[in-house]
């Protein structure tokens, strides 16, 4: 227990409310700002009571050497359970999430997370298993992982997959390492990877991290890869090309078969960025397009929490000729018994190391409970349901494209896939209202902002992905809100410049925030 002297030291070290401010014990409902947990702290208050165990106290000198002990206690807030719960509940009410409303971030697929998936993830038989337990004691988990790999391969048209990568960027690096290992096994050292100018920003970063040089190819007037430009940069020094299809403009690469043939002709590999897999589920498979490596964002496509809500998962599937290079160990289905040391177990599932494995890319076996959520989502929908997911996502995006044509510029005004890219270019030129202003003003209407200024090749881009989980009524409300913002701007109203004004945090100087980061509440300004 903390002594009174210790408590006084903690209290003296903790920050105090500003002079003239409301006392921490005063009612907090309706406050414009939420105090920090230290501002709520009062000496001697506790939110937990530790009961006596009956075990004799061990001399502290024997437990912690004196050179490793602090001179003063750790500064901890002292609050009651009531105040602690109230503090974090109030903070949670100040956040926006997929459970509260439409979250139309383009390219990110922020869709509602079904609660049945969360229920499965907390089952004791899954959540309470140690990842280091032997295969003979984890047959249920191995069965789940093998089944997930099998359905992911069926969805993508690939031969095998690794479940280890922890989300998209890790999947990208894994794919590039597989690409490197494949060429090295063939006695080749290639140096370049091709990326379209509309690619996700992580693609060139991953290429560099993987030890390759980036070669950029432009988009044509229809927003797809310029085939002429692609052919000009293809040679035997090209290790592969990174593509997403549909691309980041929300458009399907209609010449994908020709792209695949051209890259394969020079011995390169095709890598599929699975960020937009949500648009083609059950309709077309990357493997049938000619891709050799496919990464998937399970947290996007199969609706598991991501961002601040939980870890991601980025399995990578490969064609037959790359299976032996996959990270290991891999869970595999083995009918009959398997040898485990000096014993023989009738286990149906086991861990196997691929013969030419690139090694581990993640501790243990990936973000396992996210994988369990994803399999639940897939099984609940079934193959027909997954196809409806894609069809409705595409329908929703095209409904918004048609509804907002004339309100905003539409750079590529033709049927899109799961997301639509608009532009506030005319609005900025004629009324000085930028895409950023529109996004901030939309927050006041109760919607999360869309993605802005991406893809980079579209001036004043507004990228909206409604996903399949939003109803027609929600889409109408979103479109009405965007239209009202534009009408407001055209009338000379400058409200968008000051927005948001009704949210817990108003507009910040984003350039200053990036340059002079304040990482903690009490850091020096």
- Residue 20, both tokens: 């003239």
Contact 246, 253 (CB under 8 A): yes
Distance from C-alpha of 260 to C-alpha of 253, rounded to nearest angstrom? 11
Instruction: Provide the pLDDT for residue 519.
Output: 79
| Res. 211: pLDDT tops 80 | yes
Cross-sheet strand order for the sheet of 192-196: 160-162, 316-318, 293-296, 269-274, 238-243, 192-196, 213-217
Contact 188, 216 (CB under 8 A): no
Pairing of strands 293-296, 269-274: parallel
Distance from C-alpha of 201 to C-alpha of 15, rounded to nearest angstrom? 40
Q: Which of 59, 78, 94 represents a domain boundary (last residue)? A: 94
Which stretches of 186-218 are DSSP H helices? 202-209
| Res. 423: pLDDT tops 60 | yes
Look at the chain and report how many structural domains it folds into. Answer: 2
Domain presence at residue 398: yes
179-183, 205-209, 320-324, 521-525: which range is least confident on average?
A: 521-525
| Res. 52: pLDDT tops 60 | yes
Domain presence at residue 274: no
- Range 235-258 average pLDDT: 96
* Angle, helix 435-443 to helix 472-490, in steps of 10 degrees: 120
Distance from C-alpha of 357 to C-alpha of 360, rounded to nearest angstrom? 8
Higher confidence at residue 240 or residue 57?
240
Higher confidence at residue 49 or residue 412?
412
Grade residue 173 by pLDDT with cuts at 50, 70 and 90.
very high
| Res. 77: pLDDT tops 50 | yes
Taking only the tens place, the pLDDT of each residue in 376-406 is 999 999 999 999 999 999 999 999 999 999 9
Q: Which of 66, 94, 122 represents a domain boundary (last residue)? A: 94
- Range 217-230 average pLDDT: 96
Distance from C-alpha of 166 to C-alpha of 148, rounded to nearest angstrom? 15
| Res. 444: pLDDT tops 50 | yes
Instruction: Provide the pLDDT for residue 28.
Output: 52
- Residue 474, both tokens: 């929600």
Distance from C-alpha of 88 to C-alpha of 398, rounded to nearest angstrom? 40
Alpha carbon 440 to chain centroid, angstroms: 22
Instruction: Provide the pLDDT for residue 16.
Output: 41
Instruction: Provide the pLDDT for residue 523.
Output: 63
Identify the bridge partners of residue 344 per DSSP, sorted by sequence position.
339
Higher confidence at residue 157 or residue 61?
157
Range of the domain at 437: 387-515
Higher confidence at residue 70 or residue 281?
281
- Residue 228, both tokens: 């002429």
Phi first, then psi: give them for residue 339, nearest 5 degrees: -90, 130
Residue with tokens 């593509």: 243
Instruction: Provide the pLDDT for residue 31.
Output: 57
Q: Which helix (H) or strand (E) holds 54?
A: none
| Res. 459: pLDDT tops 80 | yes
42-46, 57-61, 216-220, 237-241: which range is least confident on average?
A: 57-61
| Res. 2: pLDDT tops 80 | no
Distance from C-alpha of 92 to C-alpha of 100, rounded to nearest angstrom? 11
For the stretch 273-283, what's the b/e string if a residue is b when 16 or more beta carbons lie within 10 angstroms of its beta carbon? bbbbbbbbbbe
Model pTM score: 0.86
Contact 428, 434 (CB under 8 A): yes
Domain presence at residue 353: no
Instruction: Provide the pLDDT for residue 201.
Output: 85
Q: Please, which residues have CB within 8 angstroms of residue 151's CB and are 6 or more apart in sequence?
A: 375, 378
Instruction: Give the domain CATH number at 503.
Output: 3.90.1150.10
87-96, 446-455, 516-525: which range is least confident on average?
A: 516-525
Instruction: Provide the pLDDT for residue 70.
Output: 86
Residue with tokens 């929703």: 396
SS3 assignment, position 213: strand
DSSP code of residue 408: B
Taking only the tens place, the pLDDT of each residue in 411-420 is 998 999 999 9
272-276, 278-282, 330-334, 508-512: which range is least confident on average?
A: 508-512
- Left, alpha or beta for 261 (phi > 0: left; psi -120 to 50: alpha)? alpha
* Other CB atoms within 10 A of residue 471 CB: 11
Domain presence at residue 28: yes
Q: How many CA atoms lie within 13 A of 79 on its CB side?
A: 21
Domain presence at residue 279: no
Which stretches of 466-516 are DSSP H helices? 472-490, 495-498, 510-515
Q: Which of 94, 109, 136 represents a domain boundary (last residue)? A: 94
Grade residue 88 by pLDDT with cuts at 50, 70 and 90.
very high
42-56, 360-374, 460-474, 479-493: which range is least confident on average?
A: 42-56
Instruction: Provide the pLDDT for residue 11.
Output: 41
Domain presence at residue 174: no
Domain presence at residue 357: no
Domain presence at residue 350: no
Instruction: Provide the pLDDT for residue 73.
Output: 83
Contact 465, 418 (CB under 8 A): yes
Name which of 292, 280, 216 is nearest 250 in CA terms: 280
DSSP 125-164: HHHT--TTS-GGG-HHHHHHHHHHHHHHHHHHT-SEEE--
| Res. 7: pLDDT tops 60 | no
| Res. 256: pLDDT tops 90 | yes
Distance from C-alpha of 313 to C-alpha of 163, rounded to nearest angstrom? 8
Mean pLDDT of the chain: 89
Taking only the tens place, the pLDDT of each residue in 335-361 is 655 545 544 455 799 999 999 999 999
Instruction: Provide the pLDDT for residue 43.
Output: 92
- Residue 4, both tokens: 């009174």
| Res. 17: pLDDT tops 60 | no
- Residue 412, both tokens: 């590529």
DSSP 333-356: E-SS-EEETTEEE--SEEEE--TT
């Amino acid at each position: 227990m903390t002594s009174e002297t210790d408590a006084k030291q903690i209290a003296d070290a903790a920050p105090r409310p500003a002079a003239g401010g409301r006392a921490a014990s005063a009612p907090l409902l309706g406050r414009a700002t939420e105090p920090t947990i230290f501002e709520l702290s009062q000496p001697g208050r506790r939110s937990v009571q530790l009961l006596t165990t009956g075990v004799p106290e061990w001399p502290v000198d024997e437990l912690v050497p004196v050179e490793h002990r602090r001179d003063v206690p750790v500064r901890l807030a002292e609050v009651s359970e009531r105040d602690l719960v109230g503090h974090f509940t109030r903070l949670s009410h100040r956040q926006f999430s997929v459970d509260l409303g439409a979250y139309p971030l383009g390219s990110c697929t922020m869709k509602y997370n079904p609660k049945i998936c969360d229920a499965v993830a907390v089952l004791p038989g899954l959540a309470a298993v140690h990842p280091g337990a032997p295969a003979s004691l984890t047959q249920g988990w191995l069965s789940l992982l093998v089944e997930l790999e099998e359905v992911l391969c069926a969805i993508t048209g690939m031969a095998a997959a690794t479940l280890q990568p922890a989300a998209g960027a890790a999947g990208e690096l894994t794919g590039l390492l597989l690409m490197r290992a494949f060429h090295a096994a063939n006695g080749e050292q290639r140096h370049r990877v091709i990326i379209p100018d509309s690619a996700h920003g992580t693609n060139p970063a991953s290429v560099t991290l993987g030890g390759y040089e980036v070669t950029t190819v432009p988009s044509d007037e229809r927003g797809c890869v310029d085939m002429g430009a692609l052919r000009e940069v293809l040679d035997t020094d090209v290790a592969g090309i990174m593509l997403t299809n549909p691309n980041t403009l929300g458009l399907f690469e209609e010449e994908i078969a020709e792209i695949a043939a051209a890259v394969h002709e020079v011995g390169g590999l095709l890598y599929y960025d699975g960020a937009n897999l949500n648009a083609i589920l059950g309709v077309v498979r990357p493997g049938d397009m000619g891709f050799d490596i496919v990464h998937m964002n399970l947290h996007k496509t199969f609706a598991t929490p991501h961002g601040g809500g939980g870890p991601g998962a980025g399995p990578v599937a490969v064609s037959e000729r790359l299976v032996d290079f996959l990270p290991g160990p891999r869970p595999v289905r083995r009918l009959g018994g398997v040898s485990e040391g000096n014993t023989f177990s009738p286990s149906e599932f086991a861990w196997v190391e691929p013969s030419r494995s690139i090694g581990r890319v993640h501790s243990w076996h990936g973000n396992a409970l996210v994988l369990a959520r994803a399999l639940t989502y897939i099984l609940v929908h079934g193959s027909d349901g997954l196809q409806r997911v894609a069809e409705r996502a595409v329908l929703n995006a095209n409904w918004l494209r048609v509804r907002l044509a004339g309100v905003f510029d539409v750079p590529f005004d033709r049927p899109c896939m799961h997301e639509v890219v608009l532009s506030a270019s005319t609005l900025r030129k004629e009324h000085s209202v930028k895409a950023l202003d529109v996004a901030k003003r939309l927050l006041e209407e109760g919607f999360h902002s869309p993605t802005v200024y991406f893809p980079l090749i579209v001036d004043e881009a507004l990228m909206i992905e409604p996903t399949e989980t939003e109803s027609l009524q929600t889409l109408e409300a979103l479109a009405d809100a965007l239209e009202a913002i534009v009408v407001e701007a055209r009338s000379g109203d400058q409200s968008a410049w000051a927005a948001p004004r009704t949210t817990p945090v108003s507009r910040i100087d984003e350039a200053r925030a990036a340059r002079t980061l304040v990482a903690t509440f009490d850091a020096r300004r």
